[in-house]
Amino acid sequence: MLFKDTSLLLFSGNANPVLAKEISKHLNISLSTIDVSKFSDGETRVKIGENVRGQDVFVIQPTCPPVNENLMELLIIIDALKRASARRITAVIPYFGYARQDRKDQPRVPITAKLVANLLTIAGAERLLTVDLHAEQIQGFFDIPVDNLYGVNAFLEYFKKNKIEDLVVVSPDVGGIKIARAYAKRFNVPLAVVDKRRIDDKKIEVMHIIGDVKDKNVLLVDDIIATAGSISEASEALKKAGAKDIYAAITHPILANPAIERIEKCPLKKLIVSDTIPISSDKSSDKIEVISIANLFGEAITRIHEAKSISILFH
């Protein structure tokens, strides 16, 4: 839906300006003026370039690597907007960093996802818009509304267009069954799981495939690909189990070392990722294809601004 309404203002930090521009295109509005730079000692400097008093403001800034720098930049932008009397500030965080630190899984460790939630709220965010949170319970860390979109629709269009037959959706580990089930339901195809089991104290793992993948095309799905360890191991196991072409659809491409090397060496035919995190030139690969999630965010922003339900985007 295209519209033009001067009461909606869209700002972008430096983390992913390309995605911000694509979202602004969908909304048919220009990105608002903001200067985000650094002082000589490295401190972040923010200057809002136009009047925001009484406006409905959306700030687009994934907290991807460098996580601390992008998070601090987002907090300072939100604070600047609050002090400039914006009516409402929505933090649009396509990739929510620190989401994997969502619980105390050992003694004397923090729950950093909760700390980040507190920081965003105290800074002045009144709503959070994100996609494919690593842990959905993080929504409960906030005392403000949280809209956690699902990236499956964008990937569904890709696979519909490419008409891949005999498809089976596979979770690379037991922890990812929920997201894999959502994909299998939307694609109307069977579901399988790669079950890892340690067999001795030297950390050797044996892979068990729960489900039928023999002579099938496989779609591995997950929310984050960091070092690509789970995906590369799972694809090797699936190939040994008789799978034909192996694809992966993963929302957030962190792609930390040695991810690219592993992707190049493993049996994956294609890794499809979204543009929630920008991929630098040193992380390029012929196997990687990026699809845009801008329309999903654009539609959600439209509905939030117009006080319409966004539940349709969750189906």
Closest by alpha carbon to 176, among 229, 226, 207, 222? Answer: 222
Both 121 and 22 in a single domain?
A: yes
Residue numbers of the domain that contains 210: 152-291
Segment 100-120 shows an average pLDDT of 95
H helical segments located in 143-287: 152-162, 177-187, 229-240, 259-265
* Residue 10 tokens, joined: 């869209």
d(CA 74, CA 61): 6
Q: Is 36 exposed, middle or buried (0-12, 13-18, 19+ CB in 10 A)?
A: buried
Query: Confidence band (pLDDT; 50, 70, 90) for 47?
Result: very high
- 136 plus 14 within the same structural domain: yes
Q: What is the pLDDT of residue 18?
A: 97
The pairing of strands 88-93 and 167-171 is: unpaired
- Segments in the chain forming alpha helices (H): 17-27, 67-83, 112-123, 152-162, 177-187, 229-240, 259-265, 294-305
Say if residue 87 is in the same domain as residue 173.
no
* pLDDT at residue 3 is higher than 50: no
Mean pLDDT value of segment 17-46: 97
Query: Is 82 labeled as catalytic in the residue annotation?
Result: no
Compute the Cα dihedral for 134, 135, 141, 146 and give only its sign: positive
Of 8-17, 69-78, 108-117, 281-290, where does mean pLDDT reach its minimum?
A: 281-290
State the CB neighbour count (10 A cutoff) for residue 88: 16
Q: Is residue 173 part of a domain?
A: yes
| 3-state secondary structure (DSSP) of residue 93 | strand
Residues 140 and 159 in one domain: no
Q: Which residue has the tokens 């720098």?
A: 69
Q: Based on the domain organization, do 227 and 209 belong to the same domain?
A: yes
Statement to judge: residues 157 and 253 lie in one domain: yes
- pLDDT grade for 1, boundaries at 50, 70 and 90: very low
Determine the Cα–Cα distance for residues 79 and 40; give it in Å rounded to an integer: 21
From residue 154, how far is each of 217, 306, 313 by CA, in Å?
A: 19, 23, 11
Q: Are residues 53 and 63 in contact, defined by beta-carbon separation less than 8 angstroms?
A: no
Q: Same domain for 135 and 162? A: no
Shared domain for 238 and 271, answered yes or no, is: yes
**What's the pTM value of the predicted model, to 2 decimals?**
0.93
Question: Is a pLDDT exceeding 90 seen at residue 131?
Answer: yes
- Does the pLDDT of residue 313 top 90, yes or no? no
Number of domains in the chain: 2
Coil/strand/helix, residue 212: coil
pLDDT tops 70 at residue 4: no
State both tokens at 66.
């460098």
Task: Say if CB 158 and CB 120 are below 8 A apart.
Answer: no
| Catalytic annotation, pick one of 25, 82, 114, 196 | 196
> Which structure tokens are listed for 219?
């779609």
Residue 198 sits in a domain of what CATH number? 3.40.50.2020
- The answer to whether residues 188 and 234 belong to one domain is yes
| Rounded to 5°, angle at Cα 315 from 22 and 31 | 20
